[in-house]
Amino acid sequence: MSLRVLVVEDDREIRSVMQSALTLEGYAVQTAVTLAEASALLQHSPPDLIVLDLGLPDGEGLDLVRAVRRQSSVPIVVVSARHQEAQKIALLDAGADDYLTKPFSVAELLARLRVALRHRGTALAAAVTTHSLDDLHVDLATRAVLREGQPVHLTPTEFDLLARLVRSAGKVVTHRQLLADVWGPEYTEHTHYLRLYMGQLRAKLERTPAEPRHLLTETGVGYRLATE
């Protein structure tokens, strides 16, 4: 059976491009133009994934994310314009899975959806405990970190930060989420900790720390551990 995607987007052109691209990929696509329409569809036929535009005629995407998260863990990928940065971060912190900034390519959209769906699968089965890409291998169970086959020594905080990204590999994790999960909820404003520790991790794990292959910066939002 096809996976069902609900696209909530009021821009007719973008909506129809997404609809055709997703249908071609084999998804069963439903579309909604307003939050009200989306809410009605969510009650009627819950989708496997939601693509949510931020600027909608009848209200805030944030309310929809909160309402959905009260009842389900269905992946939500937010689509935003560049000037909606602050709103986008609030949605990620409220439980949206990832985001795309307009304009984006169909390839980017499909890649984000694949990652979001993979995480939904692993959340149901077992948590992610290993990560491998190119020269980097991480095993959270044994706390082993290898670069080009050689063990890398990380401090406990460096390891915790890497582990948090491994558990969300491929997805953006906001500054606030990283600070809360690694240092504690009272540290969510201490973004300089993150810059410092991310610098240390990159120095140990990246071949060219200034041009990271693994630990990617999502400007103004957070970080993402590359999976491809």
- Judged by CB under 5 A, how many residues of this single chain contact Ca ion? 3
How many helices (H) and strands (E) would you count in the chain? 8, 14
Query: By three-state DSSP, how is residue 225 classified?
Result: strand
Min dist CB 203 to Ca ion, Å, is: 41
Which amino acid, 155?
T
Applying CB under 5 A, which part among 47-55, 67-75, 84-92, 147-155 lies near Ca ion? 47-55
Q: Single out the residue of 10, 25, 135, 206 in contact with Ca ion (rule: CB under 5 A).
A: 10
Token representation of residue 87: 């709103």
Min dist CB 17 to Ca ion, Å, is: 13
Contact 39, 6 (CB under 8 A): no
Q: Single out the residue of 48, 53, 97, 158 in contact with Ca ion (rule: CB under 5 A).
A: 53
Q: Single out the residue of 25, 37, 55, 122 in contact with Ca ion (rule: CB under 5 A).
A: 55
**Which is nearer to Ca ion, 12 or 143 (by Cβ)?**
12
Rg (CA), the chain: 18
Distance CA 170, CA 112 (A): 8
**Which is nearer to Ca ion, 87 or 191 (by Cβ)?**
87
Min dist CB 56 to Ca ion, Å, is: 6
Strands 98-101 and 49-53 come out as: unpaired
Q: Nearest CA to 15 among 102, 96, 120, 86?
A: 102
**Which is nearer to Ca ion, 53 or 158 (by Cβ)?**
53
Can you give the binding site for Ca ion, defined by CB under 5 A?
Answer: 10, 53, 55
